[in-house]
């Protein structure tokens, strides 16, 4: 068990933090939702009812949507673009291991199965990381729209107005405001780490260059 925890500590720590903050989102969102319900003279909701509501779905997936978009774009952009001096960039002026054509790689027992298989399987596999993020982005985008349409329709009903379909909700400024306000913050965060990692360091972090490394050195 100790070996397992050491080998997977980074993943496990992030999953634990994710679950903790998701629970926090559910509980705090539930209280906020009921405060709004009481302010409008409507019945309060149970926690179970809230986490299956459009309000909670919208709140969660509009954030997931931006995270997966950010990471998908980051994977693709770092494949083709460079930033001199940044630990987030491939090195300039020399071949990077990531650019190696897997079709010319020496195959051994530990080589991933898709590389051994070749053909269309390898073609899919060599772009599978970005594909995963964009698929998750698309699913989150859809669920954000579904949850948002349900929540928006509930608000409309409380004011005696007709509800909307998912397609109609996609045409509202509210949906795009929710999306853009999250998207812009994600790319700002990426720009900050790309630029800051040129001059600043974090000892022991894989996201930083060695502390004594010159500013102009590019790559991890």
Residue range(s) defining the domain that contains residue 212 = 54-220
Task: Work out the pLDDT band at 160, boundaries 50, 70, 90.
Answer: confident
77 and 40 part of one domain: no
CA atoms within 13 A on the CB side of 120: 0
Residue in the structure block whose two tokens are 């053909």: 119
190 and 218 part of one domain: yes
171 and 102 part of one domain: yes
Residue in the structure block whose two tokens are 């929710």: 178
Q: What percent of the chain lies above the pLDDT cut of 70?
A: 100
24 and 71 part of one domain: no
- Average pLDDT taken over every residue of the chain: 93
Range 68-101 burial, b when 16+ CB lie within 10 A, else e: bbbbbbbbebbeeebbebbbbbbeeeeeeeeeee
149 and 192 part of one domain: yes
- Number of folded domains in the chain? 2
Task: Work out the pLDDT band at 191, boundaries 50, 70, 90.
Answer: very high
* pTM, entire model: 0.92
């Amino acid at each position: 068990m100790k070996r397992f925890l050491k080998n997977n500590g980074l993943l496990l720590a992030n999953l634990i933090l994710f679950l903790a903050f998701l629970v926090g989102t559910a509980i705090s969102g539930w209280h906020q939702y009921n405060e709004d319900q009481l302010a409008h003279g409507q019945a309060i909701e149970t926690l179970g009812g809230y986490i299956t509501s459009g309000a909670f779905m919208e709140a969660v997936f509009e954030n997931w949507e931006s995270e997966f978009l950010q990471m998908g774009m980051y994977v693709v952009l770092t494949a083709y673009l460079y930033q001199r001096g940044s630990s987030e960039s491939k090195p300039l002026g020399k071949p990077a291991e990531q650019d190696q054509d897997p079709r010319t790689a020496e195959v051994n027992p530990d080589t991933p199965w898709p590389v051994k298989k070749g053909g269309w399987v390898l073609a899919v596999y060599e772009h599978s990381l970005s594909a995963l993020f964009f698929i998750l982005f698309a699913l989150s985008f859809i669920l954000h729209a579904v949850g948002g349409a349900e929540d928006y329709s509930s608000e409309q009903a409380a004011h005696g107005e007709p509800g909307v379909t998912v397609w109609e909700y996609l045409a509202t400024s509210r949906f795009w405001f929710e999306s853009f306000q999250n998207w812009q913050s994600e790319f700002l965060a990426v720009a900050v780490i790309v630029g800051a990692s040129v001059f600043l360091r974090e000892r022991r972090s894989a996201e930083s260059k060695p502390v004594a490394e010159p500013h102009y050195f590019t790559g991890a």
